[in-house]
């Protein structure tokens, strides 16, 4: 997809479909008024007939408007003007792409970025348009024998702004928005792939591919290397599987060597059966998405590398299947983590924290500025926050505030849960340093409490994406979250003077 941004007026658009907004009830935006003037009242007439009220999630495609050079004009409903904030803007842009999808339109020129949006600047609007454009064209059909008849999607998006002073910031936002979307596409592809294809070995190959394209450093630890490091918890999860586990490390250097990196640790369980504590059959296929944390680390590194962001980032991905089998870990087994702490495995389905704890100990060697782990960790998080917000738990207030802010900026929200010591007791074991589960109560918090025992040496935040990484039902598929959040956080880090 091709993007451009320029200072332009509606009358100069030849080939493109011109997109302008209409507020409820029937109030024209400046760009719409301009079109109306050029067409001698045609737009007003159409609206007056009641063909478009300006309600959110509605649109009207017009052809061959008198006196206009462009073949098409799309009027998009913006909803109530007083309520026109970030989510209403996103809805209008999504409606635009949805409506234009099967119309034969290949080029469109947006005149939405000049409409004031509460609490958002022009760069934000441009970034959203770029991101949503790529998202609207996303398909996953690589596993179908015949790809669905090639629909002509949008090929070229031009964002028209009124003020030359906004051009430089707009161009930067445009490339960042596109990069985020490209990262999300990678994350979605990896999540959507079938689990017989997307194995730990496959993830390692993808990481090597990414490293080749963007000149990153890549290291893959094999099981024998993990044994040498004493990663008994990670290896305990891998025991039931015929697929070899991998610990993938990617290093992106956008700044001097002395600059401490942000380390991203992504849960990479390429299929979670629960192990001996086997999950029920219903919807178990969705446990192919249990590597979404890993996929978001790869997607974020892609986005960051695509725009050569001046920041150092390390990605660490513990990758394994969680399978039952003759040599699988059993409830009651006690394992020794890389940190030396022992763990009684009371439920083999609480495997995410077992692989993460060793990866988090491994992260110490990078002398991190901050460590953020991303994991589809607990069903309890889906109950607590649904599919809207990602769960956030952290041992550092500044880091959690920075992530909350980045989430708001990216429209990829997080909500903080408490990580108080009062919850630590629930992890008591009679036989080892700790148990790997804390019972049904506060499941998301106790999972984070478990991880906090391995992250004492640095600033750390945990993102539980169990409710936000993918959609179920008819629209089943990866969402690409939280790549927008993580990339925005890293952009903010790059911009911060230090
Ligand atoms: N991958 C699952 C968490 C999950 C479940 C994410 C459903 C999204 C939807 C994780 O490994 C798991 O099984 N967690 C258990 C922990 C429990 C045994 C303490 C859970 O949430 O039930
Ligand atoms: Mn599990
Ligand atoms: Zn899992």
Tens-digit pLDDT profile for residues 452-475:
999 999 999 999 999 999 999 999
For β-strands 246-253 and 268-272, DSSP reports them as: unpaired
Neighbouring residues of 34: CB distance < 8 A, sequence distance ≥ 6: 9, 10, 11
Same domain? For 15 and 106 the reply is yes
Minimal CA–CA distance to 175: which of 30, 304, 6?
304
Ramachandran angles phi, psi of 151, nearest 5°:
-80, 140
Distance from the alpha carbon of residue 80 to the mean position of ligand 2, in angstroms:
44
Residues 120 and 191 in one domain: no
Residue 56 is part of which domain span? Answer: 2-141+153-161
In terms of Cα–Cα distance, which of 48, 47, 41 is closest to 66? 41
172-217 per-position pLDDT tens digit? 999 999 999 999 999 999 999 999 999 999 999 999 999 999 999 9
- Within-domain flag for 431: yes
Ligand 1 atom nearest residue 347's Cα: 18
**pLDDT average, residue stretch 357-362:** 99
Whether residue 134 is found in the same domain as residue 76: yes
pLDDT at residue 308 is higher than 80? yes
CA of 271 to the centre of ligand 3 (A): 8
| Count of C-beta atoms within a 10 Å radius of residue 342 | 16
Residue 498 confidence class, pLDDT cut points 50, 70, 90: low
Q: 483-495 and 167-192 helices cross at what angle (nearest 10)?
A: 140
pLDDT of residue 286: 98
Residue minimizing CA distance to atom 13 of ligand 1: 349
469 pocket-lining for ligand 1 (C-beta < 6 Å): no
Q: What is the domain count for the chain?
A: 2
Q: Is the pLDDT of residue 150 over 90?
A: no
- Bridge partners (DSSP) of residue 317 are 248
Ligand 1 contact, 426 CB (< 6 A) = no
pLDDT of residue 14: 81
Q: Looking at 260-319, list the stretches that DSSP marks H as alpha helix, in order from N- to C-terminal side.
A: 292-306
Give the ligand whose atoms come closest to the C-alpha of residue 346.
Answer: 1
**Same domain membership, residue 397 and residue 285:** yes
Helix (H) and strand (E) counts in the chain: 14, 21
In a domain, 173, yes or no: no
The alpha carbon of 111 and the centre of ligand 1 are apart by a number of angstroms equal to 45
Give the tens place of pLDDT for each residue, 3-43: 999 998 888 778 789 999 999 989 999 999 999 999 999 99
Report pLDDT digits (tens) over 313-334.
999 999 999 999 999 999 999 9
Residues 187 and 113 reside in one and the same domain = no
Q: What is the C-alpha separation between 211 and 219, in angstroms, rounded?
A: 10
The 8-class DSSP code of residue 29 comes to: P
467 ligand 1 Cβ < 6 A: no
Residue 473 CA: distances (Å) to CA of 285, 286, 384, 477: 12, 10, 20, 9
Is 271 domain-assigned? Answer: yes
- Ligand 1 centroid, distance to 272 Cα (angstroms): 9
Is the domain of 90 the same as that of 230? no
Known catalytic residues are 279, 353
pLDDT > 70 in the chain, percent: 99
Supply the pTM of this predicted model: 0.97
Note whether 207 and 322 are same-domain residues: yes
How does DSSP classify residue 239?
A: T
Asked if residues 108 and 96 have their Cβ atoms less than 8 Å apart, the reply is: yes
Is 446 a pocket residue for ligand 1 (Cβ < 6 Å)? no
Q: Which long-range contacts (CB under 8 A, 24 or more apart) does 90-94 make?
A: 90/128, 90/132, 90/411, 91/56, 91/57, 92/21, 92/56, 93/128, 93/129, 93/132, 94/132, 94/136
The predicted pLDDT at position 12 comes to 78
Q: Nearest-CA neighbor of 320 among 365, 287, 284, 277?
A: 287
CATH number at 13 reads 3.40.220.10
pLDDT in tens, 86-138: 999 999 999 999 999 989 999 999 998 778 999 999 999 999 999 999 999 99
| Residues around ligand 2, an ion, CB closer than 5 A | 272, 349, 351
Nearest to 320 by CA among 285, 351, 362: 351
Which protein residue's CA is at the shortest distance from atom 7 of ligand 1?
A: 379
- pLDDT averaged over every residue in the chain: 96
* Position 169 in a domain: no
- Same domain flag for 157 and 197: no
pLDDT tens sequence across 363-376: 999 999 999 999 99
pLDDT of residue 275: 98
- Among the bound ligands, the one closest to the CA of 446: 1
Confirm or reject: Cβ of 382 under 6 Å from ligand 1.
yes
385 Cβ inside 6 Å of ligand 1: no
Task: Report whether pLDDT(336) > 90.
Answer: yes
Judge whether 166 lies within some domain: no
CA–centroid distance, residue 23 to ligand 3 (Å): 45
**Residue 326 lies inside a defined structural domain of this protein:** yes
pLDDT digits (tens, 9 = 90+) for 41-66: 999 999 999 999 999 999 999 999 99
SS3 52: coil
Write down the pLDDT at residue 375. Answer: 99
Q: Which two tokens mark 60? A: 């009207």
Q: Is 253 helix (H, G, I), strand (E, B) or coil?
A: strand
> Would you say residue 369 lies in a domain?
yes
pLDDT at 226: 99
Asked, for residue 148, whether it belongs to a domain, the answer is no
Is residue 379 lining ligand 1, measured as CB closer than 6 Å?
A: yes
User: Ligand 1, from 379, 471, 476: best to mutate by most atoms within 8 Å of Cβ?
Assistant: 379
- For 231-277, write each residue's pLDDT tens digit: 999 999 999 999 999 999 999 999 999 999 999 999 999 999 999 99
Count how many residues are written for the chain. 498
End-to-end CA distance of the chain: 36
Q: Which of 276, 281, 349 should be mutated for ligand 1, with most atoms under 8 A from CB?
A: 349
Report the C-alpha gap between 70 and 66 in whole angstroms.
10
Distance separating alpha carbons of residues 445 and 460, to the nearest angstrom: 15
Is residue 145's pLDDT more than 80? yes
Cβ of residue 253 lying under 6 Å from some atom of ligand 1: no
Does 189 share its domain with 133? no
Among the three residues 100, 131, 161, which one is the final residue of a domain in this structure?
Answer: 161
Q: What is the pLDDT of residue 152?
A: 73
Share of the chain above pLDDT 90, in %: 93
Ligand 1 pocket check for 466: Cβ under 6 Å: yes
Give 356 Cα–ligand 3 centroid separation in angstroms. Answer: 11
**Span 267-278, pLDDT tens digits:** 999 999 999 999
Structure tokens at 72: 């098409």
pLDDT band with cut points at 50, 70 and 90 for residue 343: very high
According to DSSP, residue 117 is labeled B
β 342-344/334-336 pair status: antiparallel
Instruction: Check which CATH number belongs to the domain holding 453 and give it.
Output: 3.40.630.10
Which of 132, 161, 190 finishes a domain?
Answer: 161
Q: Does 196 lie in the same domain as 157?
A: no
Q: How confident is the model at residue 153 (pLDDT cuts 50, 70, 90)?
A: confident
217 alpha carbon – ligand 3 mean position (Å): 28
Residue for token pair 């030396």: 340
Q: Which of 130, 161, 192 is the last residue before a domain boundary?
A: 161
Locate the ligand 1 atom nearest the alpha carbon of residue 376 and give its number: 6
For ligand 1, atom 17, which residue shows the shortest CA distance? 350
> Is residue 74 within 6 Å of ligand 1 at its C-beta?
no
298 and 265, same structural domain? yes
Same domain, 198 and 157: no
């Amino acid at each position: 997809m091709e993007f451009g941004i320029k200072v332009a007026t509606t009358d100069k658009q030849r080939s493109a479909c011109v997109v302008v907004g209409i507020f409820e009830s029937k109030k024209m935006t400046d760009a719409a008024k301009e079109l109306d003037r050029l067409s001698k009242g045609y737009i007003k007439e159409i609206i007056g007939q009641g063909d478009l009220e300006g309600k959110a999630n509605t649109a009207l495609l017009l052809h061959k408007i008198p006196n206009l050079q462009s073949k098409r004009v799309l009027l998009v409903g913006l909803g109530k003007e007083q309520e026109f904030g970030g989510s209403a803007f996103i809805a209008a842009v999504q409606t635009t792409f949805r409506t234009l999808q099967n119309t034969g339109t290949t080029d469109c020129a947006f005149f939405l970025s000049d409409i004031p949006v509460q609490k958002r600047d022009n760069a934000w609007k441009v970034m959203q348009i770029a991101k949503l454009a790529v998202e609207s064209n996303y398909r996953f059909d690589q596993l179908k024998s015949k790809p669905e008849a090639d629909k002509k999607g949008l090929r070229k998006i031009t964002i028209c702004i009124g003020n030359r002073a906004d051009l430089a910031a707009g161009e930067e936002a445009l490339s960042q928005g596109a990069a985020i979307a490209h990262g999300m596409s990678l994350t979605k592809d990896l999540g959507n792939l079938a689990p017989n294809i997307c194995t730990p070995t496959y993830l390692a190959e993808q990481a090597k591919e990414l490293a080749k394209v963007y000149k990153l450093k890549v290291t893959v630890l094999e099981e024998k290397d993990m044994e040498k490091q004493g990663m008994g918890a990670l290896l305990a999860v891998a025991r039931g599987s015929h697929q070899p586990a991998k610990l993938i490390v990617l290093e992106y250097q956008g700044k001097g060597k002395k600059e401490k990196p942000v380390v991203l640790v992504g849960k990479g369980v390429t299929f979670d059966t629960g192990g001996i504590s086997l999950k029920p059959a219903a919807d178990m296929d969705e446990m192919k998405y249990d590597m979404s944390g890993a996929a978001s680390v790869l997607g974020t590194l892609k986005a960051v590398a695509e725009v050569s962001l001046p920041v150092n980032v390390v990605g660490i991905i513990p990758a394994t299947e969680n399978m039952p089998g003759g040599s699988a870990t059993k409830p009651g087994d006690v394992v020794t983590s890389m940190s030396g702490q022992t763990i009684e495995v009371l439920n083999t389905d609480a495997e995410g924290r077992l692989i993460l704890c060793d990866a988090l100990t491994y992260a110490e060697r990078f002398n991190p500025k901050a460590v953020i782990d991303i994991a589809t960790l607990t069903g309890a998080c889906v109950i607590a926050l649904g599919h809207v917000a990602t769960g956030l738990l952290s041992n550092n207030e500044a880091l959690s505030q920075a992530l909350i802010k980045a989430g708001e900026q990216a429209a990829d929200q997080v909500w903080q849960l408490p990580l108080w010591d009062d919850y630590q007791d629930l992890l008591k074991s009679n036989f080892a340093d700790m148990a790997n589960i804390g019972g049904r109560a506060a499941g998301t918090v106790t999972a984070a409490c478990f991880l906090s025992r391995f992250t004492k040496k640095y600033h750390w935040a945990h993102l539980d994406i169990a409710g936000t990484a993918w959609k179920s039902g008819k629209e089943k598929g990866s969402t690409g979250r939280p790549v927008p959040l993580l990339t925005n956080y890293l952009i903010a880090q790059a911009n911060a003077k230090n």
